[in-house]
Amino acid sequence: MATSADALRATAAYRRAQERTAAEVAADLTAWLAGISAQDVRTGAGPLGREYRARVARGRRKSYALAVAFYRLLRALETGTVVNLPGAATAEGPTLEGLWREFNRAAGAQAGTASRGGHLLVEDSPWVGYDERTEQRRAEGAFHREVTARLDKARGAAERRGRLDDPQFEKELAEVMTTARQEAARTGSQIAEDGGREALAEAVRCDPKALGYYRETDADPCAWCAMLASRGAVYKSAATAGMSDGVRYHPDCHCQPRPIFSRTHTLPEANQRYMRLWQEKSKDGLTLAEWRRELEKESSTT
């Protein structure tokens, strides 16, 4: 089934809006972390970790709400019916025009519209509600790993060498703090963007009308993402290993899971290209490094 122009528009606008949300979170974290020294972390890791979590949470909720609006619109465009919002059961469904408005608002862009039309049939929400615990655990873990533990490790190593008072060590510690700031901002931005990806994964898992998804790659995907994209559509009935691979992303990645509602869904050109290349080159199996080289060769000839 060819994808409608409306669905293509919504999908492209969705990816752009998620990328923007991730960039906003990264910028906010970068600005905040710029004012924090290694000494501040030493004396106040607890409150700083909580502040980090709160900043990541704001972005993650935005990303989640954007994914809910996108899924409701996409499902309506592709199946003619809509699902309820998380935790809200309504008897009367919105109109397609209303769904576009909801999506445009969440995306912060005028991505599309529809003529008024009637109210759509509304079905059960696939979402049980926002997962605050996963969010907290990941954000706290990230702050500890990227900032507190990184500085502790540098201090521990200097202490063993009896160099804690050495002015050179102060300089070293400042460099470690620079890396800590960068990594904490990158990781926090990914945790935020994953909010939307998880909302889509949950929708696919729990909505009987969703058949599966494929990985819609960003403009410049890494070899890992291109490999997952080369698998094409992953159906819910397929081995669960494939499903769990499909929900793994990484910092600086803006690829998205694209839910599908038809077995004859036409995949984007990029996915088809990766599929052909993978089939052609993987006859004797292919390591990720070999695949990366094949991708580089291919992109240098096109």
* CA distance linking residue 177 with residue 32, whole number of Å: 13
Q: Which of 73, 253, 267, 295 binds Zn ion (CB under 5 A)?
A: 253
Label residue 197 exposed, middle or buried (CB < 10 Å: 0-12, 13-18, 19+).
Answer: buried
Q: What is the smallest separation between the CB atom of 165 and Zn ion, expressed in angstroms?
A: 45
Which letter does DSSP use for residue 143 in this model? H
Token pair of 279 as six digits: 């089939």
Q: What is the smallest separation between the CB atom of 128 and Zn ion, expressed in angstroms?
A: 27
Give the residue with the Cβ less far from Zn ion, 15 or 55. Answer: 15
Q: Are 66 and 93 in contact (CB under 8 A)?
A: no
* Residue 295 interacting with Zn ion (CB under 5 A): no
Q: What is the smallest separation between the CB atom of 10 and Zn ion, expressed in angstroms?
A: 20
Count of residues engaged in binding Zn ion, rule: CB under 5 A: 4
Give the residue with the Cβ less far from Zn ion, 69 or 255. Answer: 255
Window 214-233: contact mask with Zn ion (x via CB under 5 A): -------x---x--------
Give the residue with the Cβ less far from Zn ion, 111 or 255. Answer: 255
The phi and psi torsions of 236 (rounded to 5 degrees) equal -60, -30
HEC per residue, 4-58: CHHHHHHHHHHHHHHHHHHHHHHHHHHHHHHCCCHHHHHHHHHHHHHHHHHHHHH
Q: What is the smallest separation between the CB atom of 189 and Zn ion, expressed in angstroms?
A: 13
Candidates 39-47, 102-110, 145-153, 254-262; binding stretch for Zn ion (CB under 5 A): 254-262
As beta bridge partners, residue 257 has 215
Return the H-helix or E-strand segment holding 250.
none
Window 120-139: contact mask with Zn ion (x via CB under 5 A): --------------------
Q: Which of 99, 120, 192, 255 binds Zn ion (CB under 5 A)?
A: 255
Give the residue with the Cβ less far from Zn ion, 147 or 199. Answer: 199
How many C-beta atoms lie closer than 10 Å to residue 289's C-beta?
A: 8
Which chain residues interact with Zn ion by CB under 5 A? Answer: 221, 225, 253, 255
